[in-house]
Structure 1
């Protein structure tokens, strides 16, 4: 990609201003202010959490280019602080050996922030900007969380690959009778418990389960447990002690396992954020998984990121795909 645009301050200022109603919504303080090519700065994104900005680089910039970008961000946005995340294509490989280079714990500009509370549609989420490449909340799922909250009153919810349990918090806030969160990492589940407490929600440790999702889906199916809504939001790639997962290769297998624990009349919320997997192919993989589980499904909703803060370049579909299927 080419160099940063010469009028970078103007580009960044205009990008933020295009967020329109989000800028004045007191119930939502977390959203994307720069979305790469669609906002004029290819392979660079920026998310805001209150006065904190997190800039992510998906290409290598020189030190001088990084400084120029950071200075422009300060001039355009007047942030409390800015944190920088470097996400080269090989970041998954490097993350274990060069974490500090990829995700510095210290602020690149402004004051250090150990943690802060951000709002999304009136719910509170704990953000930790120096804790790695991910800071606690995936903002492209905001519209899906809005939809979920309206669907779950009186229902049970299973939240797979739960990370910091945002879907669980939203489900409980929407009146779900139970939200069971499963993730491989106990650390992020503890973070999820903190999010629940931030919102005045009760915490039952039995609903925050650390372990391999596929193993737990087998256990739940064997015990005959079923849920009214199952949210499946895996990383595009993951490795545990016992298995490797690739969404582009393995999503049908995941959909099969998840479908086995969806109650009759319940819904599978299948999510994928792999830019290289087209929506039609993704939907076909979900259908394949349902067939393998011996279930029939009816597509009821397609969701994705809000075009207000996650615009796509002309002719490109968003990386995030959410396919909601009702199962018989």
Structure 2
């Protein structure tokens, strides 16, 4: 990256903080490659905590320039009036993804609001905090679609889609993820929103060893697939996604829908369209959901793909 671009980064942050978001929101998305010299830098508003994330290790000169620029930023009137309580830098490319406190005090457990729903974030402990902000429109779509539905949420993580579905009136949601600790956070997210946990199931299993149990809970009116691009020993996007797609017809209700997602910049939307045509041809592509405007990408096909299919 280029230290000479940092004044532009700070100027953009200040313009965003002049009217701070009312909910959790990305403030700066260098990963969209629209800001030359800042491609590995993002900034998020976490309901008062501002988190800067560095996705690749930078040289000492850039890091010193970034720290100096941020120290200047917190002295501005706009920052002081913004309601921010901390300024953090997460070094995602370092072992343990350590969090550096530039100003204020780190609040490890941060509650945020999105689409009127509450979520608990875990800051400074892991690479990911518990909520992927680029999927905001996807969760809103699920909320709008869910009334009276039985929903299957694959790769559920902390159950953001499940929270949205129950808030939208879903009859029942089945969450599947190998990470039982993440599912435990999902329970907490449901409790934060006053949801009846009798309407929610949590299965901490390997998806490829659980088809029988999943089918027994079905058929589903809505199936959500939002996998990692790669998870060592359990999932590789380009080889394993097809194994999921071919199972969909047996688990989906007659008029059911599928929200299939990919967040790898190396994969285009056509990957899912072709994969579905090959593995489950009775499911037709309906639409690609918009991404939030703050996640604009130089190449639209490199950004998050959230694709809707139906019989």
- Indicate whether the TM-score tops 0.5: yes
Contact preservation (8 Å) 1:54, 1:129: no
Q: In the alignment, which residue of structure 2 is the partner of 1:14? A: 12
Q: In the alignment, which residue of structure 2 is the partner of 1:238? A: 231
Q: In the alignment, which residue of structure 2 is the partner of 1:323? A: 307
116, 129, 134: which one aligns with 2:128: 134
264, 279, 286: which one aligns with 1:289: 279
TM superposition shift of 1:288: 1.9
164, 176, 185: which one aligns with 1:182: 176
Q: TM-score, normalised by structure 2?
A: 0.87
1:312 aligns with 2:297: yes
Residues 48-87 of structure 1 correspond to what in structure 2 (within 5 A)? 48-73=45-70, 75-76=72-73, 78=79, 79-87=84-92
Residues 86-125 of structure 1 correspond to what in structure 2 (within 5 A)? 86-88=91-93, 98-99=95-96, 103-104=97-98, 107-125=101-119
Q: In the alignment, which residue of structure 2 is the partner of 1:38? A: 34
**CA distance 1:19–1:287, change in 2 (3 Å):** farther
**CA distance 1:275–1:152, change in 2 (3 Å):** same
Instruction: State the alpha-carbon separation in 1 of the partners of residues 45 and 56 from structure 2.
Output: 20
TM superposition shift of 1:253: 1.4
1:200 aligns with 2:200: no
206, 227, 247: which one aligns with 1:212: 206
Q: In the alignment, which residue of structure 1 is the partner of 2:266? A: 276
5+ residue gaps, structure 2, are none
Instruction: State the alpha-carbon separation in 1 of the partners of residues 238 and 13 from structure 2.
Output: 32
TM superposition shift of 1:119: 0.7
TM superposition shift of 1:32: 1.0
TM superposition shift of 1:224: 6.9
TM superposition shift of 1:194: 0.7
SS of corresponding position for 1:274: coil
TM superposition shift of 1:286: 2.6
Q: TM-score, normalised by structure 1?
A: 0.83
Instruction: State the alpha-carbon separation in 2 of the partners of residues 224 and 155 from structure 1.
Output: 13
Deviates more, 1:263-272 or 1:50-59: 50-59
CA offsets per residue over residues 130-185 of structure 1, 9 Å max, x none?
12100010000001111111111011111111111000000000000011111111
Instruction: State the alpha-carbon separation in 2 of the partners of residues 273 and 166 from structure 1.
Output: 16
Q: How many residues align?
A: 300
Deviates more, 1:120-129 or 1:72-81: 72-81
SS of corresponding position for 2:145: coil
SS of corresponding position for 1:34: strand
Instruction: State the alpha-carbon separation in 2 of the partners of residues 259 and 252 from structure 1.
Output: 13
Deviates more, 1:212-221 or 1:112-121: 212-221
TM superposition shift of 1:106: 5.6
Instruction: State the alpha-carbon separation in 2 of the partners of residues 259 and 107 from structure 1.
Output: 49
**CA distance 1:325–1:201, change in 2 (3 Å):** same
1:299 aligns with 2:298: no
Contact preservation (8 Å) 2:264, 2:302: no
TM superposition shift of 1:297: 1.4
TM superposition shift of 1:18: 6.1
What root-mean-square deviation, in Å, do the aligned CA atoms of Structure 1 and Structure 2 show? 2.4
